[in-house]
Every structure is written in structure tokens, then in C-alpha cells.
């Protein structure tokens, strides 16, 4: 009896709620969607649909393949600097002839660029050198609408977390060694995880700004002397006078001139 008497009082509100939920989701504001509608590409196709403003998969998280496809579409005619297999092999990289990559999945580096050096093969001496290091999240200022609202107050008005400073390092040290020590000395939060698959530390967050805080293609990238290496920061052996830049990207390096391709 109760159902027959009150069913419309129950059904109508439920239908309205469902309609509102659908409208909210379809508008792209649902948590996790973050605006973009990027379909997962097949193994032989590149997404042909036009991308919207911000990356985000159907469930809020893009796969590696989706990220690379989205970045490639954003990059357009921008091409990553091509690697040189002969040069890389001559300088010690052991590349698989079938894949063109080393055992950690690293492709050949461009001619004239340093090849990766495995941390376990290096002896750090007490010989001092100097380099310049900086940390910037300026690209977030151009994409504040993408940023996690809880992180807004963390972004400096000029984008600098650490303006360029000269720091000391020791012969044999890597970009990661210098980042770790400098952040401790400067009181800057930094979080990383070791990734055996790539034989390097991976920087998850600096200054409490993490990967994915400003879109699904966002995170930290490093450059040395203007070049963005295609291998992890633990494998980059520093030379005296190097200039290290840690920069936050909102689309896999394209916005900070550090696109390395897929």
C-alpha cells in the first residue's frame, strides 16, 4: 500500500537527481574527468578527435599510451631531438639491435649529448665542482584553472621555488644527488621514489606540488644546459659548470621546451 500511495514521490526526485548527475558529468566537471575526453588509441592509430583544454581519461587517469598520444597530438609539428645510435654506442650505451634501447628502456641520445651513467658504476670522490640549479613551476601560472584548488597557495607569484643559485657538487655525483642535497639545505620539500625498472629516482613532488596536480600530463622534468634528457636524473653524471633546471610541466614537457617524444 505504501509503495502504491507514495511511489511517485520517490520516483520523481530520484529521476531528477540522476538527470542532474548526468548533466554534471557530461559537462566535464566530474572529479577525475578534468575536462579532456581522450579515447584510448589502438596500437595502430593516433587519436584524431580534437582535444579540449585539459588531460584526463574516462576514469580520471590516463594510461601511459594515452598520455603519449595526447602529448604527441598537442606537440603537433614539434619534434623531439632524434637520437644517434652510432654515437651512443661509441660512448658506451649498450643498445638492443631489435628495440634500439638499452636494458632500462632508454633510446639513443642525440649526438653530442651525454649518455646515461649507471649510479652503481660510479665512484664519488671529494673533488669539488660547481653547477647552477633552479626550480620553477611558472607554467602553472598559465594554467591555474587546471590546478588542484588545495594547491593554489603553494604557487609563488613569480613561479620560482628556487631561483638560480650556484651549488657545489662532487665528482661522480648525479643531478639527483644535487637536487636531494640542495632541497635539504634550502628547506624545500621534495619526495621521490626509486624505480628499478629505469635505474633512477623519480621525482614525485617538489614544494608539495606533485605530478597530476595540474592535469594528467603534469609533473616534474629536469633539463641540463637546456636539454631535457630521455633518462632519469640518477643517471645523469654532472660536469663542472652545468646548468640544472627543474621545471613543472602541464603537458609532458611541451610547454617548457622539454618534449622528448614517446
Domain-located, residue 88: no
What domain range is 138 assigned to? 127-256
Q: Which of 75, 96, 118 is the last residue of a domain?
A: 75
Residues 154, 61: one domain? Answer: no
Q: Are residues 43 and 132 in the same domain?
A: no
Is the pTM higher than 0.85? The answer reads no
- CA 36 to CA 143: how far, in whole Å? 14
Q: Is residue 243 part of a domain?
A: yes
pLDDT at 18 over 50: no
**What integer pLDDT is reported at residue 72 of this predicted model?**
57
| Banded pLDDT at 252 (limits 50, 70, 90) | confident
Task: Measure the CA–CA gap between 231 and 199, rounded to whole angstroms.
Answer: 9
Counting residues of the chain whose pLDDT is more than 70, the rounded percentage is: 68
- Domain presence at residue 97: no
Whether residue 63 is contained in a domain is answered as yes
Domain count, the chain: 2
Q: Note whether 132 and 247 are same-domain residues.
A: yes
Q: Are 162 and 134 in contact (CB under 8 A)?
A: yes
Q: What is the pLDDT of residues 45-80, one digit of tens each?
A: 323 333 334 444 334 555 555 655 655 555 455 556
Answer with the one of 55, 75, 95 that is the final residue of a domain. Answer: 75
- Within-domain flag for 106: no
Q: Is residue 177 part of a domain?
A: yes
- Does the pLDDT value for residue 15 go beyond 50? no
The domain that holds 155 is classified in CATH as: 2.170.130.30
User: Residue 21 — pLDDT band, cuts 50, 70, 90?
Assistant: very low
DSSP E strand boundaries for the chain: 128-136, 160-170, 190-195, 200-206, 209-210, 219-224, 243-249
| Residue finishing a domain among 57, 75, 93 | 75
Q: Report yes or no on 64 lying in a domain.
A: yes
Amino acid at each position: 500500500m505504501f509503495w502504491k500511495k507514495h511511489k511517485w514521490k520517490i520516483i520523481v526526485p530520484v529521476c531528477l537527481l540522476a538527470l542532474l548527475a548526468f548533466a554534471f558529468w557530461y559537462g566535464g566537471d566530474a572529479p577525475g574527468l578534468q575536462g579532456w575526453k581522450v579515447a584510448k588509441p589502438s596500437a595502430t592509430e593516433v587519436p584524431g578527435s580534437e582535444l579540449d583544454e585539459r588531460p584526463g581519461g574516462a576514469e580520471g587517469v590516463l594510461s601511459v599510451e594515452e598520455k603519449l598520444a595526447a602529448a604527441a597530438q598537442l606537440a603537433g609539428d614539434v619534434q623531439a631531438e632524434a637520437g644517434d645510435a652510432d654515437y651512443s654506442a661509441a660512448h658506451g650505451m649498450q643498445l638492443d639491435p631489435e628495440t634500439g634501447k638499452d636494458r632500462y628502456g632508454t633510446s639513443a641520445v642525440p649526438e653530442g649529448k651525454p649518455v646515461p651513467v649507471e649510479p652503481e658504476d660510479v665512484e664519488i670522490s671529494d673533488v669539488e665542482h660547481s653547477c647552477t640549479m633552479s626550480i620553477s613551476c611558472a607554467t602553472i601560472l598559465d594554467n591555474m584553472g587546471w590546478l588542484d584548488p588545495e594547491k593554489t597557495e603553494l604557487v609563488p607569484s613569480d613561479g620560482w621555488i628556487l631561483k638560480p643559485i650556484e651549488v657545489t657538487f662532487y665528482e661522480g655525483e648525479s643531478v639527483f644527488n644535487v637536487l636531494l642535497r640542495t632541497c635539504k639545505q634550502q628547506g624545500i620539500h621534495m619526495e621521490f621514489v626509486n624505480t628499478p625498472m629505469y635505474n633512477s629516482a623519480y621525482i614525485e613532488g617538489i614544494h608539495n606540488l606533485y605530478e597530476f596536480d595540474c592535469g594528467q600530463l603534469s609533473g616534474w622534468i629536469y633539463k641540463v644546459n637546456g636539454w631535457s634528457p630521455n633518462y632519469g636524473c640518477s643517471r645523469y653524471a654532472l660536469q663542472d659548470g652545468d646548468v640544472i633546471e627543474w621545471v613543472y610541466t602541464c603537458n609532458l614537457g611541451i610547454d617548457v621546451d622539454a618534449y622528448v617524444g614517446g
